[in-house]
Amino acid sequence: MLDGYGLHELIWNMADQVINDYFVASPSDAGGRGIALSVRQDGTAADMTGASVYLEWRHRATGKRGAEPFEAVDASAGTFEVFYPAAMQECGGVADASIAVSRGDDTYISSRVFTIRVEPVVIGGGEHEDGF
C-alpha cells in the first residue's frame, strides 16, 4: 500500500544543476520518505552500471552528518532510490544535502547542495504540556 508514496522524484541532468525542489522529512517518517533519483546526461538516461550513489547530508542544528547509499532500481537506466536515515530526522530543522557519485574508477562527482526541511512531530515523540 502506498509504495513509493513518500519518495520525492528528482531528475539530475548535470553536475551544476541547481536543485530547487522542496524536500520534506519528519522524525515520524523514518523509512517512509526519501528520493527517487533519475540520472540523465543531455536529457537521456545515464548508464550508471558500476557506479555507487550516496545521499550526503549534515543537519544544521545537531551537526550530525552521514552518507546514505542509494539502492539501484535500474543502474543501466540511471534510476536509484534512498530513504532518509533516522539520524537525519531526529529533530526538526534543516539538513544540507548533496548527491555524490563514485564512478567506480576512483573518480567522483557530486551535485550542488540542496536543503531538506525536517519538520517537527506535531503529536507524540516527546512529553508535552498541552495534554496530548
Q: Can you give the pLDDT of all 132 residues of the chain as single tens digits?
A: 666 778 999 999 988 889 988 999 988 877 789 999 999 998 899 999 999 999 999 999 999 999 999 999 999 999 999 999 999 998 889 999 999 999 888 899 999 999 999 998 777 655 434 443
Burial of 35 (0-12, 13-18, 19+ CB in 10 A): buried
pLDDT confidence of residue 1: 60
For 22, list phi and psi in degrees, rounded to 5: -100, 105
pTM of the model: 0.87
pLDDT confidence of residue 124: 64
Pairing type for strands 23-25 and 34-41 reads: unpaired
Q: Any bridge partners for residue 38, and if so which?
A: 11, 79
Eight-state DSSP code of residue 97:
E
Encoded amino acid at 19, one letter: I
Contacts of residue 97, Cβ cutoff 8 Å, sequence gap at least 6 = 23, 55, 56, 57, 58, 113, 114, 115, 116
Encoded amino acid at 37, one letter: L
